[in-house]
Chains A and B, each alone.
Chain A
């Protein structure tokens, strides 16, 4: 998925590419599972209204708490990935999460996927593959503050 066609395979390029693949996978999995756990919990609780206290109270629901823990992992791995990879690279390649969310809806919740939906999955996967062919980092490592 994230193979390259245009980078010289220097030791550093190969190292960065392997690290990018690993962190992309971690970012995607923590985001998809975190969002699913969070949604499951919020559905069980029902509409909390606009009160900030009710929203904070929701954090103590077990599924919501699991979702929050996974999203903290997402935050940390996403920040690490962005420390060396471009935003215009990270954002599209992690969009493969939309496909995983769709497919998990089908296989875990027994939802049906329409033809239109499959076409969407195909478009997203093509887009992710295309961006995955680009070099993950195109800016100098240190931007002056």
Chain B
């Protein structure tokens, strides 16, 4: 049960983050933060298909996370969620067209290794 939840958590978080990033790139930089501008942005995002997909995936991710923390310690649940780092960096390069230079790859690798150490 624990590892099934970990798989669902990692897959849904990866989909959620990548779709959210695509949707927000399509939307363009959020520049204004007064209540009127925020409501206009939210209204426009509510009709953005990538943001809708992301929100559904994040809901799955959220419920699998709270289910996981109810049966496993936070010191296990939070670090395993870091397994998303590698597939998301690959998808950022392939699907989002980001320039992932050696510092970003090395940084993602160092963080993944560090997360393994702190979760033992």
Partner-B contacts on A (CB < 8 A): 35-36, 38-39, 42-43, 45-48, 50, 55, 58, 64, 71, 75, 78-80, 82-84, 86-92, 95, 98, 101-102, 105, 116-117, 119-131, 133-134, 138-139, 141-143, 145
Query: What 1/0 mask marks residues of chain B from 75 to 103 whose CB sits below 8 Å from any chain A CB?
Result: 10111001011001101110011111101
Q: Is the CB of A142 within 8 A of B110?
A: no
Given that A47-B71, A142-B28 are contacting pairs, would A134 and B103 also be in contact in the complex, using a CB cutoff of 8 Å? yes
Given that A38-B69, A55-B63 are contacting pairs, would A134 and B104 also be in contact in the complex, using a CB cutoff of 8 Å? yes
Report the separation of the CA atoms of residues A11 and B29 in the bound assembly, to the nearest whole angstrom: 16
Q: Is the CB of B96 within 8 A of A87?
A: yes
**Chain A residues whose CB sits within 8 angstroms of the CB of B45 once the complex forms:** 79
**Chain B residues whose CB sits within 8 angstroms of the CB of A95 once the complex forms:** 82, 85, 111, 115
| Residue on A nearest B29 in the bound complex, by CB | A84
**Chain B residues whose CB sits within 8 angstroms of the CB of A122 once the complex forms:** 114
Partner-A contacts on B (CB < 8 A): 17-18, 20-22, 24-30, 45, 51, 58, 62-63, 66-67, 69-71, 74-75, 77-79, 82, 84-85, 88-89, 91-93, 96-101, 103-104, 106-111, 113-120
Q: Is the CB of B115 within 8 A of A87?
A: no
The 8 residue pairs across chains A and B that have the minimum distance between CB atoms:
A120-B117, A123-B114, A127-B110, A131-B107, A124-B114, A120-B118, A127-B111, A88-B92
Q: Is the CB of A88 within 8 A of B106?
A: no
Report the separation of the CA atoms of residues A103 and B27 in the bound assembly, to the nearest whole angstrom: 36
**Chain B residues whose CB sits within 8 angstroms of the CB of A143 once the complex forms:** 22, 25-26, 97
Cross-chain contact of B103 among A45, A55, A120, A131 (Cβ < 8 A): A131
Cross-chain contact of A123 among B18, B28, B98, B110 (Cβ < 8 A): B110
